[in-house]
Chains A and B, each alone.
Chain A
């Protein structure tokens, strides 16, 4: 078995995670973690839908921000995709998508403040980077034959519209619709930093132990996502997109002087601002590296590697839940619901809940990342097993799982896992805002101390780390000849 590269790679990652686990801070510090968890579930089954007058408005805002953000992202992403061959465009896209929505929001909050533009751009910018990449991949894979059959002298635009687009349209549409679901999740968590979406109220009720209120909000959010196919019909989309900007709320007016101040003063390293020269700058940068960046990078990497492997294990355990090869329809329906809940709940919200219940350590973060990402991968792999035809006399039960199914789906499983590697790291960094000592913790601390120069450098370091992992993930996938479709 060790002769298989996929197995060797898996074992290597497993070993790294085990070593990482030795360094990771894993513990439950709450005195009564299970009682609190019980109270939380009690809250979810006794939801209080009338807690806050702002709840419905928040839901409306969550949808509005998602629509506007995703629409702008796909619009600009499409044009970037057309120029994706040029490396400056590729690098630019990799850079803007390497910075998490919440980081973008924290940046814009400093100069646009509580204006709807903050939330819209926080979604639109990273999404444009992702759309550009995926659209360009779809366009590259289009069948070249229709283009060859066009009469000579056909203009480039006509050729593009008549030979490329028809072939890619369905795929692009599916992917864009899928991103809308991601957009709703992104939009919801923007509330945690103060935008008027669902996260704002969720954070407030959770932190006060109002679990029935929080439960109601989570349920409404699941219903919103589960019913997406019902209310997002192709014909209605133009109306939604045109209407959504009117539902963003008015926020507070933008003062343009703040924008200029942010870029010309706030983010200039303070030694330069104060004219302390190169020596001052070096010692400033040195302190920042030693006291914040390096510990942040270390914790981010350790947490990412542990979470990645736990995600993989969970996905392998979860896929039989929805697989036709096991159990009956009742169990599969329950399995579907469980996986939908897992993948609809943003990691950030899961981690927030578990941190409140178990106290601060890397454990809640690992579990949150693994539950969310494991549910996504488990869902995809489970669906894939449903397309497999086994021999009528194939073994059943555990043997069927280990000898028939896992070997058949293992390559696509790894492909999904390595695809999500970078996504897990992006989330890991952001979970620092909740108090785990990853890069996000230091970014948040710098912002709390009104030191935007430090915050920007730490965000840039986070972005560089993500780009590095993304490249490495692609390298490994190419080496192992793994192919996958994008997930978010």
Chain B
């Protein structure tokens, strides 16, 4: 009886091992976890299928738990391509010489951060951030992830610029929600009074009817800055064959599937270059996130 069970157990373990030994050269990519995981997995499995078809190679998406984990996986060559935010892209390209931003969303040329507030605070929308200084002082505030461009870097930059102080000194409590969807939910629920998030996430959730507009509203929009982009390692041609990088770039630029684009949400992808992200690098250096 016991022997039988053990035999079954051993057989199944052998089967499982063989099943897990995938082919050697799989093209692996990741993305920063900026939104709810279910949505990300759905979106990037679609991208993996699309790329695998276009490139005629095995393509795999790996979900990660933090922005830094995405950057580390890219740097460690465990993934060769990543959908980064402005800041994580700059960090990654600094760490991997030869890596390149190859494509960005149409909307990423001029991205924005929305500051949102729970309506119980009574804060009214303003054109200039400086009009809100008195009302914002002493409120509770949440960023998105610590490594986010639209959820951390840019809002922190404007807070420091306008108040001349660190966020911890302006607000009574400063938190990091983890991602944009969570920032929205936390401010909507009143756990934090004010928050800052990616404007695309706001608009998409609003369009899908997922926001209680009686509970939360946009109080200020930042000026535009460059954000998300696809970044690829410089050594992919050596590993996957001559011209591979070009083919990936072309495949991304030709991505036209409306459902897939809608899931980002982007209206399409356009070429990008490392230099496009200079403003982000300078901002990050200014507030001490990059040394």
List A residues at the B interface (Cβ < 8 Å): 29-32, 36, 109-111, 113-114, 192-194, 200, 203-204, 207-209, 235-236, 239, 243, 246-247, 249-250, 252-253, 255, 258, 270, 359-360, 435, 444-445, 447-451
Contact = CB atoms under 8 A, between A and B. Distances in A.
B6 interface: yes
A450 B13 contact: no
B179 to A, nearest CB: 8
A207 B36 contact: yes
B28 A243 contact: no
Contact of B68 (A235, A243, A448): A448
B36 A208 contact: yes
Given A113-B76, A114-B73, A194 B13 contact: no
B140 interface: yes
B66 interface: yes
Contacts of A444: 146
A448 B146 contact: yes
B13 A243 contact: yes
A181 to B, nearest CB: 21
Contacts of A111: 76
B281 to A, nearest CB: 14
A303 B109 CA distance: 45
B182 interface: yes
Nearest to B175: A360
Given A194-B64, A207-B182, A450 B140 contact: no
Given A207-B182, A246-B13, A444-B146, A30 B189 contact: yes
B29 to A, nearest CB: 12
A444 B62 CA distance: 21
B147 A448 contact: yes
Most buried by B among A203, A270, A435: A435
Contact of A239 (B9, B16, B73, B290): B9
A449 B190 contact: no
Interface stretch (B17-25, B194-202, B241-249): B17-25
Given A250-B21, A360-B173, A360-B175, A255 B78 contact: yes
Nearest to A203: B65
A243 B10 contact: yes
B203 interface: no
A113 B78 contact: yes
A13 to B, nearest CB: 29
Contacts of B190: 30-32
A47 to B, nearest CB: 18
B67 A448 contact: yes
Contact of B146 (A204, A250, A445): A445
A451 B28 CA distance: 25
Contact of A204 (B10, B14, B37): B37
